[in-house]
Structure 1
């Protein structure tokens, strides 16, 4: 299975899971008198739309290069990640606002059975986070990692809801708002996660240098290629699931232009074979004067 297929499969997993959980949380929150659960349902609903965006981004970013996009369409993926972050910030703002409003209003205690629902949700969302994050790492997909953090933030909001409902049930009348305070805390955590998701996507768009380990691998592979004496500059930029490389390779100064050209092609082919996540590889030949 290709990286793209694996990432798309993980996104469908998120879509189906979020749809089921949004419905479950919404019903449980409504009938169980828990705004923390309803807040959870709001976030899961935004997660559905976010997962659709991730799915679109994955498919679009893996379109082949064309005349107008010689490096492919990979930069669409971090742009989609920015939109996903926007969904997270929006849901956190709505949850915070509604929580503050509810704290000021008297309301019934949450039902004790909502804790069972939350316990199941917490386990499922943590499992979903680990599964989708693993696929995000395997495929080098920033938007899939963002989708994974949606699951983790969902799990944390559920933990907060569990604590809030437990306090409300345990201490009884006068502590009904513990449930709402839990939702307010969860909104803060969602905002914090939004930053964690946004930061690496911004670095990708700005071509930030974050790839020392990959550069080390590139140099190691390059030194095995016949005719390559050493490597000098090596610049990497990420686009979608691929890494584009500009590499300066040192060769014997006395060889012909054609021989240098052949070494450059051999080096390029070897790097792309040994390191499959590489996209475009541009080799600049430097003469060794020693």
Structure 2
């Protein structure tokens, strides 16, 4: 089961494009990447095309689950009580069904905020400490800049830390505060690299933890908030993600492209090596072979 990118005329697109769907090169020969369609090898096209790749993923997951359910009916598990399979299937779902990528961002912040409220952790980093600082308050802060712990960047940071260290988010609150105060949302890229032992992350092959691969700033800031030049207000320019900087997450396409480039480099190296072999060296090697045979 695949998610195929489509041109405006509903033909498959195999060209390299920017996060906006526009061709990367002027001579790419691509009309534009407009929609994404879920295509099943057994059933053909599934549902209607979607405007974004991430919007087609729920349809792909739902259709794949329907095939699994057809292959594994409840009668195959006679040792389980009636209705248990439905309960197990429902308990395996991670959160509600997300129809759009922005629902995913809202669910992420809502989930973390609910945990903070349950644990009794303030949703805003405390202001400057008073003169009679209570040292028993483990959430007290000496920073004079308030920090919103319900922002998407902070929720992403604390979730990345908790998942990597296999701890609750209450153990990573201070680390997330320090990261966001020092570097802001762009610090998520540094954190992502640090969690993988300092290896640089190529977001063409790894999904961005902040924007989930759409390439644009998920908070949808305005030009006034970012301080863009006035002439950019009406030209429809994109506000790229501060973490992945708009890298297009298409690992399969880029892997095929890299393999083709490596094959070309290998062929050029072999050809260049053959050209470097001088004529006298080839004559001596040929005469040596004839002498040995004689």
Larger Rg: 2
Higher strand share: 1
When normalised by structure 2's length, the TM-score is 0.22
Higher helix share: 1
When normalised by structure 1's length, the TM-score is 0.22
